[in-house]
């Protein structure tokens, strides 16, 4: 800038604020006189003026077609940007308005005043209001994140309160103490939270006159922008792509920072007054600001030449500790956040670089759409700058790679996933989490470090190793650990098995897959290793790396696989159903005996429900867990055509959720000891994270009936009925196991025990029926006929129960039934 920039006198000397409309065409300024001005972008003409009755204005927020102005008299007024006229008074407060924030979708406006509560009002319907009340003193600043779901309130007590507004009632997510300074309501200094455009982080001015970046995922402090100001920071703003940060201080300074390095790019000297409000133009290299003297500056070419390209690159990640330094070319390593793909369990089965590209594209595609809305169709988003590139990337990238969710002609394919793993969050993720232990990996920029930990510390020793192959899938059991990595430029896809203990030298081995074949899921059992690949193959190896067999899966693309001893279940996408999604088909086979038990049978899932996990229970029965929170087990699966999925537990009906107070979901880990082992996730989390949460277990409860009754007697009866169905199921599973395998003695002796338990429950049901009255005798007799006991003891006991309640007729009938059974006259079918 050769010549000194001339300020535009916008308002009477005093506090002045400005806001760009979201399409960047207009800049609205408010100040301490009864005029509002809307400056058109790229024009030196005298701006249109709106005369208003209020005379001191302290806040402004603009969308594309309207803007909101907050005045010292406590009103928030909505003006149209199209007609430059007042529309309505949106909110009234009893005390001066301090800040207004518009949500990125322009639907909600958060209003901070000197009153304690923050009002969040619908901009179209002012009767829709909710209040944020958890902070004890009045709010100085409010700001929305880019997902419309979170509001950060900077309170005058020096604490940032983060609210979630995604639920019906706003919830306080976090109190961030010690981040910002305690400030007076009317102080020039700012404690505003500014959300980074990538959505993973926000930043705020600290008491030490620095800008501190905070991660949204875990509220941990990240990088700091240090040493730029001698006075308190009065305004700060991220550039639209997050690559630059502009801050202004009370020492009449204005500093531009590069986000990636946290270094000062430029310190602008010719500032006469304290800047109160900084605004980047959404697309152009223009930085506008207003000061305490009623002046507006529109600084064209604010970013000097050699750095101006920073403004035109793609969305940059927020600076995190330990994050890989991102390259400004925009197509190297990008943010590995999982927010870009919230629905999918994981990651693209593409190569590492493809995966990163995909994420980056997605991030640009989605977030870009979020933070610049092209809702007026003006086409600025197609302007021949970075946006042009972005649009092309966006269409060519994700849509081609991913199934478009709304197109009618393209089937919706279930993504492949690895049971027991989580996606990247921050720089770490779990590769495998089960009852043996857990495997997690940390991204170290050039390589990963993989850590294997065990629950049983006596049996196994924890270990970790440096991983140059970037393994992205793992399995763990008592015998060893199996890893797989996607192919890259240097190596093809690799399968790596590492046994825990051997009696010779360590016999770990690696298998290279054919070039361009990628692994979609792997599984490890006591006797074999299974990998499904993008080529549609199921590859089976022995534990010593001997390839046992390979065949092409009938239903592809493969979704996942699991194994237990010699049994292998593979799940693939089958034919497309009526709703455009593919039906999942599963196949169960025994690798050693080469028998197929179920071939391409349907994995029973209702409409719109996705498969979350597949695993074998500790008794060797296949189990699935779906996105609705239902755990199902496969009954009679050893006989072709007879298999059926039986629900074991519906986590939505758990007693702990009964009050409706808790909002939690369950992340499946295993089924063992007749219990469902899971990790409880609170607050809308989808995956477990660090530190490793505790395992919880729940007893099975088959959803036989609703539990809305207060009647204790009825509840007891329902409980018995559920017990009957559950014990019958357990008995049939055990019976199948004994009939079809070389069962151990313990397993064989379990069957009569379970049979006896079924009869016991029946006996209790019989007692409740007898207690109800004589007229329930028919049902009681039916219950008696269901008894399985062949020795007649149970029927004898049933007769005794009937006699005790003086149901003599029933007792007689039971006695005669017992007699007939004893001589073998009555078959069960005749009853």
Partner 1 sequence: MALPLPPGLTASEVGFLCEMEFVTVIPRQRLDGLELLGGPTQPLKPPFPTPLPLWLALLLKKQKRANISPPPWLSVEGLSHILDFETDTRTAEVFSPSQALPPPMGTRRGYEDYLDAEIVDFSPPFLPKSSTTGAQAEALPYHWLEVGHLLLTHAADDFDDAEGVRRLLRDLREVRMSKLRKGFKVLDAGAGVKLNGVGAMEIAEVRGFVGGVVDGLRKINRSREESRKEREAEDRENGLGGGSYQEDDDDMQL
**Inter-axis angle of helices 777-785 and 808-823, to 10 degrees?**
20
Shortest distance, position 700 Cβ to partner 1, whole Å: 16
Residue 220 interacts with partner 1 (CB under 8 A)? no
Binding to partner 1 (CB under 8 A) within 604-623 occurs at none
476 forms part of the interface with partner 1 (CB under 8 A): no
- What SS3 state is found at 526? coil
CA atoms 542, 544, 550, 556: torsion sign: positive
CB of 655 to partner 1, least distance (A): 11
CA distance 789 to 275: 88
Binds partner 1 (CB under 8 A): choice among 18, 27, 729, 763: 763
Token duo for residue 786:
């269901």
Residues of this chain, 776-815, that bind partner 1 according to CB under 8 A? 797, 800-801, 804
**Least distance to partner 1, CB of residue 211, Å:** 30
- Residue 746 as a binder of partner 1 (CB under 8 A): the answer is no
Nearest CB to partner 1, comparing residues 694 and 823:
694
Binders of partner 1 among 710-729, rule CB under 8 A? 716
Which of 157, 478, 566, 697 is in the footprint of partner 1 by CB under 8 A?
697
Among 446, 673, 744, 790, binds partner 1 (CB under 8 A): 673
How many angstroms separate the CA atoms of 761 and 730, rounded? 13
Please name which of 448, 517, 524 lies closest in space to residue 486, comparing C-alpha atoms: 517
Contacts for 692-696: CB closer than 8 Å, 24+ residues apart: 692/433, 692/438, 695/435, 695/669, 696/666
Sign, CA torsion 69/118/135/159: negative
User: Exposure pattern of 346-361 as b/e (b: 16+ CB <10 Å)?
Assistant: bbbbbbbebbbbbbbb
Sign of CA dihedral 248, 252, 256, 260: negative
389 vs 756, beta carbon nearer partner 1:
756
Beta-bridged to residue 268, according to DSSP, are 254
Interface with partner 1 includes 672 (CB under 8 A)?
Answer: yes
- Judged by beta carbon, residue 713 or residue 782, the one nearer partner 1 is 713
User: Is 767 a binder of partner 1 (CB under 8 A)?
Assistant: yes
* C-alpha span between 634 and 648 (Å, rounded): 10
Among 694, 746, 823, 825, interactor with partner 1 by CB under 8 A: 694
CB of 452 to partner 1, least distance (A): 15
Reference 681, options 433, 481, 452, 477; nearest CA is 433
Residue 92: CB atoms within 10 A of its CB come to: 14
* Three-state secondary structure call for residue 490: coil
Among the listed residues 332, 695, 738, 743, the single contact to partner 1 using CB under 8 A: 695
Q: Copy the structure tokens of residue 106.
A: 């322009």
Where does this chain touch partner 1 (CB under 8 A) — which range of 115-123, 474-482, 551-559, 761-769?
761-769
* Least distance to partner 1, CB of residue 434, Å: 10
Q: What φ, ψ does residue 99 adopt, rounded to 5°? A: -155, 150
Query: Which span (22-30, 581-589, 608-616, 689-697) binds partner 1, by CB under 8 A?
Result: 689-697
Q: Which is nearer to partner 1, 82 or 694 (CB)?
A: 694
CB closer to partner 1, 4 vs 661: 661
Report the residue number, 640 or 786, with the smaller CB distance to partner 1: 786
- Taking the least distance from each CB to partner 1, the nearer of 716 and 820 is 716
Task: Quote the least distance from Cβ 546 to partner 1, whole Å.
Answer: 31
Report DSSP letters for 297-322, one per residue.
EEEET-S-GGGGGGGGS-PPPP--TT
Nearer to partner 1, 251 or 618 (CB): 618
The residue among 384 and 691 lying less far from partner 1, judged by its C-beta, is: 691
Q: Which residues contact 418 (CB under 8 A, 6 or more apart)?
A: 346, 431, 432, 473, 474, 521, 522, 560
For the bound state, the minimum distance from the C-beta of residue 182 to partner 1, rounded and expressed in Å, comes to 24
Q: Which of 191, 311, 764, 765 binds partner 1 (CB under 8 A)?
A: 764
| Binding-residue pattern over the window 434 to 463 for partner 1, x denoting contact by CB under 8 A | -x------------------xxxxxx----
**For residues 331 and 768, which CB has a smaller minimum distance to partner 1 in the complex?**
768
| Minimum CB–partner distance for residue 804 and partner 1 (Å) | 5
* Closest separation in Å from C-beta 680 to partner 1: 12
For partner 1, give the closer residue by CB, 455 or 465. 455
Write down the least CB distance from residue 440 to partner 1, Å: 16
700: buried, middle or exposed (CB in 10 Å: 19+, 13-18, 0-12)?
middle
Work out how close the CB of 760 gets to partner 1 at its nearest, in angstroms, rounded to a whole number.
6
Smaller CB distance to partner 1: residue 97 or 679? 679
Q: Which residue number, 131 or 454, has a Cβ lying nearer to partner 1?
A: 454
Q: Report the b/e string of 760-790 with b at 16+ CB within 10 A.
A: bbbbbbbbbbbeeeeebbeebbebbbbbebe
Which long-range contacts link 78-82 to residues 24+ away (Cβ below 8 Å)?
A: 78/123, 79/36, 79/50, 81/21, 81/26, 81/28, 81/38
Closest approach, Cβ 664 to partner 1, in A, equals: 13
Q: How far is the CB of 745 from partner 1 (least distance, A)?
A: 19
Q: For residue 664, list its beta bridge partners.
A: 682
- For the CB of residue 450, give the shortest distance to partner 1 in the complex, in Å: 20
Of residues 490, 495, 438, the one with CA closest to residue 464: 438
How many residues of this chain bind partner 1 (CB under 8 A)?
Answer: 21
Q: By rule CB under 8 A, what string of x and - marks binding of each residue 399-438 to partner 1?
A: ------------------------------------x---
To which residue do tokens 């790229």 refer?
A: 42
Question: Around Cβ 447, how many Cβ atoms within 10 Å?
Answer: 13
DSSP 186-219: T-SS---EEE-TTSSEEEEE-TTS-EEEEETTT-
In the complex, least distance from residue 88 CB atom to partner 1, rounded to whole angstroms: 42
User: Rule CB under 8 A: which residues touch partner 1?
Assistant: 435, 454-459, 672-673, 694-695, 697, 716, 760, 763-764, 767, 797, 800-801, 804
């Amino acid at each position: 800038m050769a010549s000194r920039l001339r300020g535009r006198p916008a308002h009477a000397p005093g506090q002045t604020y400005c806001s760009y409309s979201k399409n960047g065409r207009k800049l609205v300024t408010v100040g301490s006189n009864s005029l509002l001005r809307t400056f058109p972008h790229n024009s030196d003409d005298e701006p249109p003026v709106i005369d208003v009755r209020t005379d001191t204005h302290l806040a402004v927020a603009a969308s594309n077609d309207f803007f909101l102005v907050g005045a010292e008299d406590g009103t928030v007024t909505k003006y149209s940007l199209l007609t430059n006229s007042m529309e309505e008074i949106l909110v009234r407060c009893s005390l001066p308005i301090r800040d207004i924030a518009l949500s990125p979708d322009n639907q909600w406006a958060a209003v901070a005043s000197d009153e304690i509560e923050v009002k969040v009002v619908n901009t179209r319907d002012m009767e829709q209001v909710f209040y944020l009340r958890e902070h004890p003193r009045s709010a100085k600043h409010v700001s929305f994140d880019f997902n419309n779901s979170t509001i950060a309130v900077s309170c005058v007590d020096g604490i940032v309160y983060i609210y979630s507004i995604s639920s019906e009632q706003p919830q306080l997510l976090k109190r961030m103490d010690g981040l910002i300074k305690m400030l007076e309501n009317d102080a020039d200094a700012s404690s505003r939270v500014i959300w980074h455009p990538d959505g993973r982080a926000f930043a705020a001015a600290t008491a030490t006159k620095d800008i501190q970046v905070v991660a949204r995922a875990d509220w941990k402090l990240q990088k700091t922008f240090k040493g730029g100001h001698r006075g308190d920071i009065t305004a700060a703003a991220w550039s639209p792509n997050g690559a630059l940060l502009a801050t202004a201080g009370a020492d009449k300074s204005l500093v531009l920072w590069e986000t990636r390095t946290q270094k000062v790019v430029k310190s602008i000297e010719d500032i006469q007054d304290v800047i109160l409000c900084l605004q980047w133009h959404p697309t152009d290299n223009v930085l506008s600001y207003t000061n305490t003297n009623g002046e507006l500056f529109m600084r064209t070419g604010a970013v000097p030449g050699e750095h101006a390209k920073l403004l035109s690159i793609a969305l940059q990640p927020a600076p995190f500790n330990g994050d890989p330094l991102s390259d400004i070319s925009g197509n190297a390593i990008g943010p590995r956040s999982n927010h870009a793909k919230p629905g999918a369990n994981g990651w693209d089965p593409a190569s590492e670089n493809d995966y990163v590209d995909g994420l980056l594209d997605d991030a640009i595609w989605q977030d870009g759409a979020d933070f610049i809305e092209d809702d007026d169709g003006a086409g600025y988003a197609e302007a021949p700058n970075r946006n042009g590139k972005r649009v092309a990337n966006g269409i060519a990238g994700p849509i081609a790679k991913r199934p478009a969710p709304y197109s009618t002609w393209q089937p919706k394919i279930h993504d492949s996933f690895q049971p027991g793993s989580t996606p990247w969050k921050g720089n770490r993720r779990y590769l495998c989490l089960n009852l043996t232990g857990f495997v997690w990996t940390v991204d170290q920029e050039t390589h990963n470090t993989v850590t294997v930990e065990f629950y049983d510390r006596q049996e196994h020793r924890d270990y970790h190793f440096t991983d140059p192959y970037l393994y992205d899938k793992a399995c763990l059991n008592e015998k060893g650990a199996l890893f797989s990595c996607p192919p890259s430029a240097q190596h093809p896809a690799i399968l790596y098995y590492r046994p825990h203990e051997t009696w010779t030298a360590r016999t770990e081995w690696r298998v290279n897959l054919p070039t361009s074949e990628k692994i979609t899921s792997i599984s490890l059992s006591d006797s074999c290793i299974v990998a499904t690949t993008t080529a549609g193959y199921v590859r089976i190896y022995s534990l010593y790396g001997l390839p046992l067999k390979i065949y092409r899966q009938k239903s592809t693309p493969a979704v996942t696989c699991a194994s237990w001893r010699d049994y292998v279940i593979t799940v693939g996408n089958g034919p497309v159903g009526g709703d455009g999604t593919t039906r999942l088909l599963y196949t169960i086979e025994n690798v050693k005996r080469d028998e197929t038990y179920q071939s391409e049978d349907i994995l029973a899932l209702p409409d719109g429900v996705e498969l979350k996990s597949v695993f074998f229970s500790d008794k060797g029965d296949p189990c699935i867990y779906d996105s609705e929170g239902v755990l199902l087990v496969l009954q009679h699966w050893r006989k072709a055509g007879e298999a059926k999925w039986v629900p074991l537990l519906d986590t939505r009906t758990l007693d702990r959720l009964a009050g409706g107070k808790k909002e939690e979901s369950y992340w499946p880990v295993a089924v063992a000891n007749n219990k469902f082992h899971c990790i409880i996730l609170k607050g809308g989390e989808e995956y477990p994270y660090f530190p490793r949460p505790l395992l919880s277990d729940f007893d099975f409860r088959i959803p036989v009936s609703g539990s809305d009754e207060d009647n204790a007697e009825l509840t007891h009866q329902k409980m018995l009925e559920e017990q009957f169905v559950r014990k019958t199921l357990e008995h049939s599973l055990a019976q199948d196991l004994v009939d079809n395998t070389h069962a151990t003695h313990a397993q064989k002796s379990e069957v009569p025990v379970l049979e006896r338990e079924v009869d016991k429950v029946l006996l209790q049901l019989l007692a409740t029926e007898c207690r109800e009255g004589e007229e329930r005798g028919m049902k009681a007799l039916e219950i008696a006929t269901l008894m399985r006991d062949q020795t007649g003891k149970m029927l004898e006991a049933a007769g005794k129960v009937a006699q005790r309640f003086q149901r003599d007729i029933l007792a007689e009938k039971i006695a005669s039934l017992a007699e007939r059974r004893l001589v073998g006259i009555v078959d069960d079918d005749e009853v």
